Chain A
Amino acid sequence: MNAVLQYTVQGLAAGSFYALAALGLAVIFGVLGVVNFAHGAFYMLGAVAAAVLLDTVGMSLWLALIVVPLLMLVFGMLVERLLVRWLLPLDPLYNLLLTFGLTLLLVDLVKRRYGVSGLPYERPSALDGRVQLAGVGLPVYQLFVIGVALLVCLGVWLLMTRTRVGMIVRAATERPELAGALGINVGRWVTPVFGFGVALAGLAGVLAAPFRAITAEMGSDFIIILFAVVVIGGLGSIVGAVVGGFLVGLVEAFGQAYAPTFAQVLIFVLMAVVVLARPAGLFGREEATA
């Protein structure tokens, strides 16, 4: 029983990174129709930025949680404006290739500057240690990660369901041409939405900085799992991204505990089962056939 609680918290913490990043991936895919392969690299950049800012200017994790996503927002908007935008009228495969190339570039640039051995990150002492819950010592940092992720997911959900911006994004995701013909300037939302998605990947990276090894390659495995998450949740679905993220985190944690050799395989078994039962994912809509 104690072990189950421990693995659950561990799984939800790992799932928090997936949920946040997959949320960004889902929003970008919804509005731009772009499968952003560079999302893992943006996650890595978020972690590296947090580490570098701590090392150079002594920026605390608390501040980094706000500053780094803002920097990534600007960076993402620049990437959209300067690169992604030009390929939007073409087949979506071109942007998949572009973002794949961007990944290689970013990873190598980070390797060149900071090496391959990994950057250190010391978490604030307030988040160290464990709290006792039902007789189990649970790591404070894992609980903190889960709390932040839930808060941000709730915020994004409110943004999407309760505001005019969210309404426009939902309409533009569903039928961009019709939204345009009703007077919505869909193009105006493309750049901020891309930046927002990238900022979420960056936030996941900052949260991961005290928790995972910060290396140039940390996004490579991450993006593979992330694709499994969005396939399970349903590509383009906001709720699906969050549920899929936490689900995959749990499968990973319990897999590592009880069947360590199969932990990664289990995620893809789950993906296969979901796709067989519901090809569009848990929360995906079947493509309407015209």
Chain B
Amino acid sequence: MLEVENLSAWYGEAQALREATLSVAEGEVVTLVGRNGAGKTTLVRCLMGLHKHLTGSVRLDGRDITTLPAHKRARAGLGWVQDDRGIFANLSVEENLLLPPRVSESAWTLEQVYDAFPALGSRRRAGGTTLSGGEQQMLAVARVLRTGARVLLLDEPSEGLAPVIVAQIGDIVRTAKQSGIGVLLIEQNVRFAATVADRHYLLAQGRLVESLDNDEFVERQDELLEHLGI
């Protein structure tokens, strides 16, 4: 579904990504694990078309989207939840949900969103950033589900959230997976990653050093934690 081949990226002279090749299949949850500065966010920004100094190719459902501008990638089915959640302060909760255009038949309706996230329904007229951190994260995820995005790019969705909220996010990711959505999950929280993902990529110094299935990942959890220095 999402296929990335030999992706390299630079900031000026400094190379941030080195020939990364990865894929996410339909209904598959794949994590990208690595230290701060390993290149995780750079990779997602490349996928979204926000970082342009790169080589290699990105394909979505077989279609080459490497040179498309960001808004066309979103319309092609990439749903980005950025690491700071990206909620608009000048838009109400409902406007935040309605802003991005629908991109496929599997788009959620507002009713479905409010059923799944009652906290958003009861605050629909409130300003987007008046919500708590956890609610803003729910809003950010609900926003891309409402567009009907085919592949979700979630940048550290569990960061800074209470365990009970992290568990809810895990539930949403599993729901998305069941409906055939592919998820690329950037995580430093290895324990959380192990509860939702099918496969894991390990990113170090801009290079994908290993690809593990979830059983291996769980087995080597301590070693990985040490490597990550978390």
Contact = CB atoms under 8 A, between A and B. Distances in A.
A168 B90 CA distance: 11
Interface of B: 48-50, 69-71, 73-75, 80, 82, 86, 88-91, 95, 98-101, 103, 143, 147
Contact of B71 (A164, A175, A184): A184
Given A182-B80, A184-B99, A167 B91 contact: yes
A155 interface: no
A238 to B, nearest CB: 10
Interface size class for chain A?
Answer: 10 to 19
28 contacts: A164-B98, A167-B95, A167-B98, A170-B88, A170-B91, A173-B90, A174-B89, A174-B90, A174-B91, A175-B88, A177-B50, A178-B86, A178-B88, A179-B99, A180-B50, A180-B70, A181-B74, A181-B80, A181-B82, A182-B71, A182-B74, A182-B80, A182-B99, A183-B71, A183-B101, A183-B103, A184-B101, A285-B89
Contacts of A186: 71
A185 interface: yes
A183 B74 contact: yes
Interface string A152-183: 00000000000010011011011101111111
Nearest to A180: B70
A182 B91 contact: no
Interface string A68-84: 00000000000000000
B69 A180 contact: yes
A170 B80 contact: no
Interface of A is mostly: helix
Contacts of B86: 175, 178
**Which 4 A/B pairs are nearest by Cβ-Cβ distance?**
A183-B74, A182-B100, A180-B70, A170-B90
A33 to B, nearest CB: 16
A285 B129 CA distance: 14
Contacts of A177: 50, 70
B80 A171 contact: no
A178 B140 CA distance: 12
Contacts of A185: 71
A39 to B, nearest CB: 23
A134 B177 CA distance: 71
Contacts of B80: 181-182
Contacts of A184: 71, 99-101
Given A183-B147, A184-B71, 6 more contacts: A167-B91, A168-B99, A170-B90, A180-B70, A186-B71, A285-B89
B202 to A, nearest CB: 26
Contacts of A164: 98
B70 A174 contact: no
Contacts of B99: 167-168, 171, 179, 182, 184
Contacts of B49: 181
The residue among A174, A179, A182, A184 with the most chain B CB atoms within 10 A of its own CB is A182
Nearest to B149: A183
A186 B49 CA distance: 14
B91 A183 contact: no
A183 B75 contact: yes
Given A183-B74, A183-B75, A185-B71, A171 B90 contact: yes
A285 B143 CA distance: 25
A184 B143 CA distance: 14
Nearest to A182: B100
B48 to A, nearest CB: 5
B146 to A, nearest CB: 11
Contacts of B98: 164, 167
The residue among B73, B74, B75, B98 with the most chain A CB atoms within 10 A of its own CB is B74
